[in-house]
Amino acid sequence: MRQELQYLLDNDIKDKGEYQLTNALENMKNKGTVFMPGQVTEWLDCGNKDATVYTNQRYLEYLKDRARNLTDGSAEIVNSVIVQPVYIGKNVKIGNAVVGPHVSVGNNSIITSSVINNAIIQRIPT
């Protein structure tokens, strides 16, 4: 899939001004890739703010049930409580805070003196 998507990008192959996933899938099919259907147990949406936060919550629960460590080793957490499930990205600094449950914190974010739950935090690059 990655190779086919890269091919579309490298050759600027667009349909209606957009790169199409279906073009990559069609190329894979034409090269003999056999696709097997998967089972969808829950349909999650990211079409608006509330749906995105809910999808984040469900995905963190999914990952928690699979015993994955969701905190990057570079994160600095001082005098804080992390209530799982929480995703904490690279170079995050958390101080004097309660974070979680159901919070995703993007790379390079800084959280101080806060109580945050059911949220997605991203630092906007300057």
Token digits of residue 39: 């089972």
Query: pTM for the whole thing?
Result: 0.70
Q: Let me know whether 120 and 59 are in one domain.
A: yes
Q: Which residue range forms the structural domain that includes residue 19? A: 1-36
Give residue 124's pLDDT. Answer: 78
| Residue 34 pLDDT level (bands cut at 50, 70, 90) | very high
Confidence of residue 47 (pLDDT cuts 50, 70, 90): confident
Q: What is the mean pLDDT of residues 78-85?
A: 97
pLDDT, tens digit (0-9, with 9 covering 90-100), for 100-115: 999 999 999 999 999 9
Q: Do both 30 and 52 map to the same domain?
A: no
Q: Are residues 1 and 48 in the same domain?
A: no
Indicate if the pLDDT at residue 120 is higher than 90. yes
Round the average pLDDT of the chain to a whole number and report it.
Answer: 93
Number of domains observed in the structure of the chain: 2
